[in-house]
Amino acid sequence: MIRFATKEDGPAIAPLILVILKDMELPLLEIISEEMLLTILAEAVADPDYRYGYKRGLICEYEGQVAGIAFGYPHEDEAIIDKPLKKVLHKYHLDEEIRMFVDPETLPDEWYLDSISVDEKYRGLGIGSKLLDALPKIVQRDGKNILGLSVDKGNPNAKRLYLRKGFKDVAEVMISGHLYDHMQKKISE
């Protein structure tokens, strides 16, 4: 079942986000322990404006468990999506200026799929595909008709999935020192 994320999903969302952050080898992981980062992410989900805020995400449940997540935002929100994290960092006496991401990721006029992650024990069940298929609802809700994403050049399996789903290469971008293909798909109205 695909549904919108809720504030209460934070503890289930955080480990799936952490997988992505570790894959990206973010410098943040050298500053904050994984345990603390899980706590921070789980709490920050409750802020709807945050990059991983509940209003920006979809959940795929399988057998009553959060099996996969997808989070994104319209291009215009990129400048503000990480500001809510400062409050949570302050609460835990961490430097409020710590940033997870410093590179721009979106292209103009698109809704950007920031993160998609499937729990290891549910991989191979089509959950990533189901999440991708459900995204047009949230893209159109946010007033967009172009869905964009970045795929690591070192992840050919993900790239094949996006190509099968109708995405096309439109640019190359550097995010946190890694080269990505930026892909887009038009959403029919």
Write down the pLDDT at residue 52. Answer: 96
Pairing mode, strands 178-186 and 2-4? unpaired
**For the chain, which ranges sit under pLDDT 70?**
189
CB 37 within 8 A of CB 18: yes
Q: What is the Cα gyration radius of the chain? A: 16
Instruction: Tell me the domains of the chain and their CATH numbers.
Output: 2-186 (3.40.630.30)
- Residue for token pair 């293909």: 181
CB 14 within 8 A of CB 43: no
Q: Measured on CA atoms in the order 125, 128, 131, 133, is the torsion positive or negative?
A: negative
Write down the pLDDT at residue 189. Answer: 55
Write down the pLDDT at residue 98. Answer: 84
The whole-model pTM stands at: 0.92
Write down the pLDDT at residue 3. Answer: 96
Write down the pLDDT at residue 175. Answer: 87
User: Per-residue b/e over 59-97, b at no fewer than 16 CB within 10 Å?
Assistant: bbbbeeebbbbbbbbbbebbeebbebbbebbeeeebeee
Per-residue model confidence as pLDDT tens digits over 39-69:
999 999 999 999 999 999 999 999 999 999 9
